[in-house]
Amino acid sequence: MSDEQCQTCKERKQANPRWREDFPVQWENDNYITRREMVKFLSLGSLLIAGANFIVAAIPHLEKATRYPERQVGLASSLPAGGSTLFNYPTEHDPCILVRDKTGDLVAYSQVCTHLSCAVIHSAKENALFCPCHNGYFTVEEGRPYAGPPTRPLPRIKLEQRGDAIYATGVEV
């Protein structure tokens, strides 16, 4: 009898181990919850992706909405071909450089080097914007780096000429 009981006990234990009694799991409900969780996860994931797409699509419009002040930065008659002058734009803490290139065109850039923020200067002899910190060179025509460590172009200042006066009207990053 006791052997039989033991045999029964063993079979019961195998079919229903002790941990199942301590931690009962209702598999049908468990599957149901998992499915619901999955749908919740997919819905929230889709919403997040849709939101991120909306934000990415809105960024260019927000940038366009940034308004820059219009400020007179120099006189065209005071800048000979190959000459340059300094000014601050859009705030007093943003140094910029205005250059009249050898063809007579006026261009302006942020004076802050895109490598490690030293001030670039105009080199008429080399027809370049030069950063003395690490010998970085930018083209005068486009502000594009072509020698030294800088890899990003200088932010360009939009200019407008009215009569003799030159105005800064915006920044192209």
Residues that bind ligand FES (CB under 6 A): 113, 115-116, 118, 131, 133-134, 136, 148-150
Find the shortest distance in angstroms from Cβ 127 to ligand FES.
18
Residue 131 or 140 with smaller CB distance to ligand FES = 131
95: number of Cβ within 10 Å: 14
Residue 7 or 135 with smaller CB distance to ligand FES = 135
Find the shortest distance in angstroms from Cβ 140 to ligand FES.
16
Distance CA 40, CA 45 (A): 8
Find the shortest distance in angstroms from Cβ 148 to ligand FES.
5
Find the shortest distance in angstroms from Cβ 165 to ligand FES.
31
**Sheet (strand 71-75) strand order:** 71-75, 165-172, 156-162, 106-110, 95-100, 84-88
Give the long-range contacts of residues 37-45, CB within 8 A, separation 24 or more: none
Residue 153 or 170 with smaller CB distance to ligand FES = 153
| CB-CB contact of 108 with 168 (8 Å) | yes
